[in-house]
């Protein structure tokens, strides 16, 4: 009984911090509360005899709960396979100061763009960035949570940090004329609007072995059902996804307002190293 009282006291003592960790990990107050409650259920059944750092131990438990929730959330975001050109060749590819102030979202200090970027990170990247950069958790501790080495945890946080730091630049690129052209191309492809595609393409456009704007339009018309508008290394492009994973990247060369070249990369290794940020597409008339 004394042990349970000690555990309850420690949990209450650190509850504000645990809620703040969960809030920044998940971006939702409701989910953060669920995570904290789940963490309490776990710790209440745990053996605390060897716990020397209650704050660190409780943070680890909450972080693991959040990691599971992020992974479950990611697995639910399954995109329909849809029709697409016979690329890619590969089928394996991979594609976000501590305190109790959990009333303040991370977005309040660094902008809404950050929350958008965080949602594009893998669960491990998001965890590494939030725990290290926001709550000063060591890479050794983070590595234990995600079953990676400290060096790998550092690399995950660094990758996430680069994307967060580039949020402002990303926002500017997302509003570029090229973005509008690529978005219009995807809309025309999905709708089978041949004439709209011809209008978007340079008469001498090239796509792989296909030459000529009308031939390229005929090939893409009715396709790209599962392609999504994205920034790839900061440049507007399209990414074909399946079950939440990037399978192919479509890059566009735009010359004088027309698409003059389309290249498709389906190499799993190269795709895995790309910085991919998916963009919201506006519906016609919106």
Question: What's the pLDDT score for residue 79?
Answer: 41
Under 8 Å between Cβ of 228 and 95: no
Of the candidates 67, 34, 242, 227, the residue with the CA atom closest to the CA atom of residue 156: 67
The β-bridge relationship of strands 201-207 and 258-265 is parallel
DSSP string over the chain: -HHHHHHHHHHHHHHHHHHHHHHHHHS-HHHHHHHHHHHHHHHHTS--TT-S-HHHHHHHHHHHHHHHHHHHHHHH-PPP-----S--S-S-------SS-TTS-THHHH-HHHHHHHHHS-HHHHHHHIIIIIT---HHHHHHHHT--HHHHHHHHHHHHHHHHTHHHHHHHHTSHHHHHHHHHHHHHHHT-HHHHHHHEEEEEEETTEESHHHHHHHHTT--TTEEEEEETTEEEEEEEETTEEEEEEEEEEETTEEEEEEEE--HHHHHTS-EEE-PPPPTT-
| From 78-82, 98-102, 160-164, the region with the lowest mean pLDDT | 98-102
Residue 280 has pLDDT above 60, yes or no: yes
Question: What's the pLDDT score for residue 220?
Answer: 93
Question: What's the pLDDT score for residue 45?
Answer: 81
Give the highest mean pLDDT range of 69-83, 86-100, 112-126, 141-155: 141-155
For the entire predicted model, the pTM comes to 0.48
Q: Model confidence over 210-252: pLDDT tens digits?
A: 999 999 999 999 888 889 998 887 788 999 988 778 899 999 9
Residues facing 155 on adjacent strands: none
Question: What's the pLDDT score for residue 69?
Answer: 93
State the average pLDDT for the chain. 79
Residue 279 has pLDDT above 70, yes or no: yes
CA–CA separation, 32 and 25 (whole Å): 8
Question: What's the pLDDT score for residue 80?
Answer: 39
* Domains contained in the chain, CATH given: 2-73+96-165 (1.20.140.160), 173-278 (3.10.450.50)
Long-range CB contact pairs, 235-238, < 8 A, 24+: 235/173, 235/178, 236/173, 236/174, 236/176, 236/178, 236/179, 236/181, 236/182, 236/279, 237/182, 238/182, 238/185, 238/186
Q: Model confidence over 7-51: pLDDT tens digits?
A: 788 888 888 999 989 988 888 888 999 999 999 998 888 776 677
Under 8 Å between Cβ of 97 and 253: no
Under 8 Å between Cβ of 55 and 17: yes
Q: Model confidence over 131-167: pLDDT tens digits?
A: 988 888 999 999 999 999 999 999 999 888 877 766 6
């Amino acid at each position: 009984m004394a042990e349970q009282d000690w555990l309850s006291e420690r949990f209450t003592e650190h509850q504000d911090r645990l809620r703040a960790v969960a809030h920044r990990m998940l971006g939702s107050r409701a989910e953060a509360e669920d995570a904290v409650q789940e963490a309490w259920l776990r710790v209440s059944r745990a053996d605390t005899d060897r716990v020397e750092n209650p704050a660190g131990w409780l943070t680890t438990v909450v972080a693991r709960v959040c990691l599971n929730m992020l992974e479950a959330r990611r697995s639910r975001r399954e995109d329909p396979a849809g029709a697409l050109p016979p690329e890619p060749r590969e089928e394996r590819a991979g594609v976000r100061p501590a305190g109790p102030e959990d009333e303040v979202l991370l977005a309040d200090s660094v902008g809404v763009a950050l929350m958008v970027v965080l949602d594009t990170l893998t669960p491990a990247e998001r965890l590494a960035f939030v725990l290290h950069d926001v709550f000063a958790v060591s890479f050794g501790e983070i590595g234990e949570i995600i079953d990676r080495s400290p060096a790998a945890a550092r690399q995950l946080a660094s990758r996430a940090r680069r994307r967060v730091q580039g949020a402002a630049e990303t926002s500017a690129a997302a509003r570029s004329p090229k973005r509008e052209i690529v978005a219009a191309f995807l809309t025309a492809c999905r709708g089978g609007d041949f004439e709209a595609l011809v209008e978007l393409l340079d008469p001498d456009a090239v796509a792989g072995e296909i030459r000529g704007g009308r031939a390229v339009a005929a090939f893409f018309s009715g396709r790209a059902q599962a392609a999504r508008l994205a920034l790839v290394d900061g440049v507007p492009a399209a990414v074909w996804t399946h079950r939440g994973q990037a399978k192919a990247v479509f890059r566009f060369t735009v010359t004088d307002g027309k698409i003059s070249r389309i290249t498709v990369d389906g190499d799993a290794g190269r795709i895995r190293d790309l910085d991919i940020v998916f963009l919201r597409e506006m519906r016609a008339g919106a």
